[in-house]
Homo-oligomer: A and B are copies of this chain.
Amino acid sequence: MVEKKYTIGLLQLAFSSDTNNNLKKALAYTEKAAKAGARVICLPELYRSQYFCQKEDSSLFNLAEPVQGPPVEAFQKLAKKLQIVVVVPIFEKRAPGLYHNSAVIINSGGEVTGIYRKMHIPDDPAFYEKYYFTPGDLGFQAFKTTYGTIGTLICWDQWFPEGARLTALQGAEVLFYPTAIGWHPSEKERYGMAQKDSWITIQRSHAIANGVYVAAANRTGFEQPVKNQEGILFWGSSFICDPQGVILAQASEDQEEILMAEVDVNHMETIRRNWPFLRDRRIDAYGDITKRYLED
C-alpha cells in the first residue's frame, strides 16, 4: 500500500464578545498549529463570536457575513502562505433574510474548495438555532484537498448516523465536527458527565461504523450573553479518534488547546479489512430511512 499520512489539528478556543479579537486569535492559533505540523486544521463552530443563539434577537443577524468577506479571505491568505487546509466555520449571510450555519473548506493553495451548510438544526432552551439558521441545502459532502479527502459536519449533525454515513460513503477519511456544546450550569452536576459521555460515544460510533477518523473541535469557556439567563459552560473535550473509535488525542474541559493527531490511510484500510462493514450493508433493506416514522 502506498503510504498516505497527514497530521490534523483542532483548535479548542474560548471566545469573547470582540469578534475581531476572536478572528485574530483563530488566525494566530491556526498558524501555531501549522508550525507544529498540522496540515488540516479545524476551528470550533461559529468561532467569530460568542454563542449568540442563547436568545432570539433579530439584531444578532448583524453578526452574519457572506462567504467571500474579510475573515475567510484572511484564512485563504494564511492557508496559501502555510500550505495548509483549513475548515473555517461561518455564520453565513446568503441573501437578505437567509442565513446558514456553515463551514468553508479552504485548500492549501488558498482557494475555497467547498462549503458545507449545517443540515440538522437544533432548538433547545438557550440553543435557539432554528430561529437563526435555515437548514442546509447542499447535502452531505466530502471534499478533496491537497492532503486528503475530508468531510465536514457541524455540531448537532453529530447525533445523526445518517450524516456520518453519507459523508464517509463519499470517501471522507476524516469527519470534522466544528462544535459549540456545553452545559446548562444548573444541570452539570446531575447530568453533565452522562451528557458529555453520550456526545463522545455517538461520535466515536461514527468512526467505528464507517471506518473513518473523527475529529470534534469544541469551544471552551463560560458565556452568559443574556442577563437573567444562566449561560452556557462549554465543555471543551475536543478529541480525535481513529477508525476503530480509539481516542488518539483529547483536550481538557476548560483550557484553550491545539490538538493534533495523524491520519493514516493505511491504518484505515487495515481496520476496514478487519471490520468489513461496508461489505455487508443491506442497501436493499434501508429504503425506509427516508421516512419520518414507521407506524403500522
Contacts and interface: CB of A to CB of B under 8 A. Distances in A.
A277 B293 CA distance: 12
Interface in A252-296: 274-278, 280-295
A166 B120 contact: no
A63 interface: no
A134 interface: no
A280 B119 CA distance: 9
B156 A165 contact: no
Given A198-B208, A208-B159, A244-B194, A282 B169 contact: no
Contacts of A146: none
A170 interface: yes
A114 interface: no
A205 interface: yes
Interface residues of A, number: 54
B294 A170 contact: yes
A121 to B, nearest CB: 7
A60 interface: no
A278 B290 contact: no
A155 to B, nearest CB: 12
Contacts of A278: 292-293
Contacts of A276: 124
Contact of A280 (B120, B275, B277, B281): B120
Interface string A148-169: 0000000010011111011001
Given A197-B245, A204-B201, A209 B285 contact: no
Nearest to A119: B282
A202 interface: yes
Interface string A199-230: 00110111011000000000000000000000
Interface of A: 119-122, 124, 135, 139-140, 156, 159-163, 165-166, 169-171, 194-195, 197-198, 201-202, 204-206, 208-209, 244-246, 274-278, 280-295
